[in-house]
Amino acid sequence: MHLAGGRRAQRCAQPETEGALMTEALLKVENLRIELTTRAGVAPVIDNLSFELGHGENISFVGESGCGKSMTALAIMGLLPEGVGRVASGRILLEGEDLTAASDSRLRDIRGNEISMIFQEPMTSLNPVYTVGEQIAEVLRAHQGLSARAARDMAADLLDAVRIPNARARAGDYPFQMSGGQRQRVMIAMALACRPKILIADEPTTALDVTVQAQIFDLLRDLRRDTGTSIILITHDMGAVAEMAERMIVMYAGRNAEIGPVDQIIEHPRHPYTKGLISCVPHIMATLTEDRPDLTEVPGIVPGLREFGQDRCLFASRCAYRTEQCLRQRPPAMGFDNGQLADCWHAETL
């Protein structure tokens, strides 16, 4: 696949169809800024983040640890750390409803019913003193108003749907009696219990071996096909992004670095950080040759929270393309005809 030559870039121009997109988007995040209170003061852990999620769409957030992927998910769920994190500005619109202005009772109703989340480590997310069937049933009773017996029956059906063998008997197991892959399937069953419109999967295959990872991704694809649920996949694994998502959002230091179709970004990244992430992934065929090249690394580390929000390119200290302008001014979003959007002064020439 090759990009058409001569694509013209334009500065932050809003498409004429923006109004149509707003009505079609299931989730729309606009200029979101999240601040955390730290010992050193208030820091913008998410800075002017914007993106959309369509009905039935699968998008992925990718980036190093500490770039703000999970914090974005917690903001969408209304689960920012109380007394520490807050939405300072911007909107999170679920079918037009601004979740940043919703009451606590409304957010409790939305969580589970309309937006669900699979957390990174199922062993710490599941209650060790209740059976997995009881924990799924609790979600169904709280949000669907089912009787205890109906909830237990549906919990078993959900475990069967996520391909846990002998589901009705395994519903009586405690989390410690299950393998890591099985516990993750339980978390997926719990998240899908109320058939939510959006499923947020935060590193759903962390600490699982590659065979189980493949099974979890197959399961998510099948469930999305069968239920029409939109998926937000949070990961640092570019291979998972290429396998699962149609669009990707590359985050760096709490900001958009690049947004666009997965195949277009992997074929022709427009941001140096994206380029570095892709070049870090080993190619399977390269391992079969004696003259295998060394993997390229992204030098340096993500800046500290005190640097977030500064009016410059926060990747400049790690970037081989930096100029004086990068050190003095924050780059505007640069849009391309293929749907890519990159926050980089040099996006046109990469």
- The answer to the question of residue 3 being in a domain is no
Nearest-5° Cα angle at 289, 285 to 293: 85
Residue 160 domain-assigned (yes or no):
yes
Shared domain for 135 and 276, answered yes or no, is no
Each residue's pLDDT tens digit, 43-58: 899 999 999 999 999 9
Confidence band for 291, pLDDT divided at 50, 70 and 90: low
Please report, for residues 14, 23, 91, the alpha-carbon distance to residue 20 in angstroms, rounded to integers and kept in the order given.
Answer: 12, 5, 18
For residue 327, what is the DSSP state?
A: H
Rounded to 10°, the helix 132-144/104-113 angle is: 120
pLDDT tens-digit series, residues 239-254: 889 889 999 999 999 9
Q: Is residue 167 part of a domain?
A: yes
Residue 1 resides in a domain: no
Residue 350 in domain:
no
Considering the domain architecture, whether residues 184 and 205 belong to the same structural domain is answered as no
The interaxial angle of helices 180-191 and 148-161, nearest 10 deg, is 120
Are 309 and 241 in a shared domain? yes
Residue 348 lies in a domain: no
**Is the same domain home to 281 and 320?**
yes
Residue 91 shares a structural domain with residue 232: yes
Is 255 domain-assigned?
yes
| Per-residue model confidence (pLDDT) at position 70 | 93
Q: How far apart are CA 56 and CA 70, in angstroms?
A: 21
The pLDDT-based confidence of 212 (bands split at 50, 70, 90) is: confident
Domain closes at, from 195, 229, 247: 195
The answer on 310 and 253 residing in a single domain is: yes
Give the residue with greater pLDDT, 121 vs 218.
Answer: 218
Statement to judge: residues 225 and 320 lie in one domain: yes
Domain count, the chain: 2
Which residue, of 175, 195, 215, is where some domain finishes? 195
Number of H helices, E strands in the chain: 13, 13
Q: Give the domain-ending residue among 158, 174, 195.
A: 195
Residues 171 and 236 in one domain: no
Tell me, what CATH number does 59's domain have?
A: 3.40.50.300
- Does residue 226 lie within any of the structural domains? yes
pTM over 0.85? The answer is yes
Read off the tokens for 315.
């990747």
Claim to verify: residue 203 and residue 307 sit in the same structural domain: yes
**pLDDT reported for residue 268:** 94
CA distance 216 to 15: 37
| 207 lies in the same domain as 146 | no
20 pLDDT above the threshold of 70: no
Strand partners, 164: none
**Span 314-341, pLDDT tens digits:** 999 999 999 999 999 999 999 999 999 9
The whole-number pLDDT of residue 210 equals 85
What mean pLDDT comes out for the span 104-128? 89
Please indicate, yes or no, whether residues 222 and 311 belong to a single structural domain of this protein.
yes
Domain that holds residue 126: 122-195
Percent of the chain at pLDDT > 70 equals: 90
* Residue 186 sits in the same domain as residue 266: no
The single-letter code of the amino acid at 136 is I
Q: What is the dihedral of CA 95, 100, 105, 109, to 10 degrees?
A: 30
Give me the pLDDT at residue 4, please.
34
